[in-house]
Amino acid sequence: MSMDWIKFCFLSLFLLCQKTVLAQEYAESYPEECHGTLAFWTSHKTEFEEAAARAGVSPRFMFAIVAPEISQFASLVDKAQTYALKVLYVQQGKAYANFSIGLFQMKPSFVEQLEAYVRADKELAGEYPDVLLPADSKEVRIKRVERLETQDWQMAYLMLFCRVISHRFGDVSFATEEEKLRFYANAYNRGFLLDEKQLRQAGGAYFPFFAIRKFRYADVALWFYRHAL
């Protein structure tokens, strides 16, 4: 065994331990939020199982992708500000107001990107016709916001996100499901239109956005994956 390979193994082990410690520090910083998020998983496991079966991933995997967002939902901006942003988006479109909605904190622009990707692929368009909305208009933006305000549609969009990632990166291999989860979590948090190299990178620590102490989104997702029973 070469020295370079030994160094690589030690470095990989060190980075894995470091990520585990940082994620544990997130759980210690937000104990009630993490407990509540795991309780949400327990009470909604059936919905995740149904969606995951269509997405081709495990229910726990799918939950972990959005678990960090669920854990911070109660700490987000007030309803009055969110309402004002919704009105601005409906009136002017995503260029004027792009904000997050619901427990999974999905942006209208995120859904628009999913719609565009599905529409451009004949197979996906035939498989998910109900997702596709007509050309952009005030009425269409109202419909999109209304969908995002329901848990059923957020789950449907999460399922579709997993399908789109598996379709877009179908030739990408992962050594473990945890490595795959980090890739999907990065795509969810940073944007699924990034390339493979960008999504494999750890990225900066920007989560939670309004917190003083920040963590890597994928690290937090992995913590929830390991603790969801």
> Average pLDDT of the chain?
88
Confidence of residue 9 (pLDDT cuts 50, 70, 90): very low
Say whether pLDDT at 184 is over 50: yes
Identify the pLDDT of residue 93: 85
Burial 49-72 (b: 16+ CB within 10 A, else e): eebbeebebbbbbbbbbbbbbbbb
pLDDT for 80:
57
159 pLDDT more than 70: yes
pLDDT tens profile 76-94: 655 656 777 788 888 888 8
Residue 152 pLDDT level (bands cut at 50, 70, 90): very high
Task: Summarize pLDDT for 204-229 with one digit per residue, the tens.
Answer: 899 998 788 999 999 999 999 999 98
Q: Which two tokens stand for residue 37?
A: 């998020």
Q: pTM here?
A: 0.87
The residue among 2 and 153 whose pLDDT is bigger is 153
- pLDDT computed for residue 8 by the predictor: 37
Model confidence pLDDT, tens digit, residues 86-118:
888 888 888 777 788 889 999 999 999 999 999
Mean pLDDT over 13-27 rounds to 60
Would you state the pLDDT for residue 64? Answer: 98
Distance CA 116, CA 125 (A): 10
Give a three-class secondary structure readout of the chain. Answer: CCHHHHHHHHHHHHHHHHHHHHHHHHHHHCHHHHHHHHHHHHHCHHHHHHHHHHHCCCHHHHHHHHHHHHHHHHHCCCHHHHHHHHHHHHHHCCCCCCCCECCCCECHHHHHHHHHHHHHCHHHHHHCHHHCCCCCCHHHHHHHHHHHCCHHHHHHHHHHHHHHHHHHCCCCCCCCHHHHHHHHHHHHHHCCCCCHHHHHCCCCCCECCCCCCCECHHHHHHHHHHHCC
Confidence of residue 12 (pLDDT cuts 50, 70, 90): very low
- Tens of pLDDT, residue by residue over 111-150, are 999 999 999 999 999 999 999 999 889 999 999 999 999 9
101 phi and psi, to 5 degrees? -130, 140
Q: Does 172 score more than 80 pLDDT?
A: yes
pLDDT of 59 above 90: yes
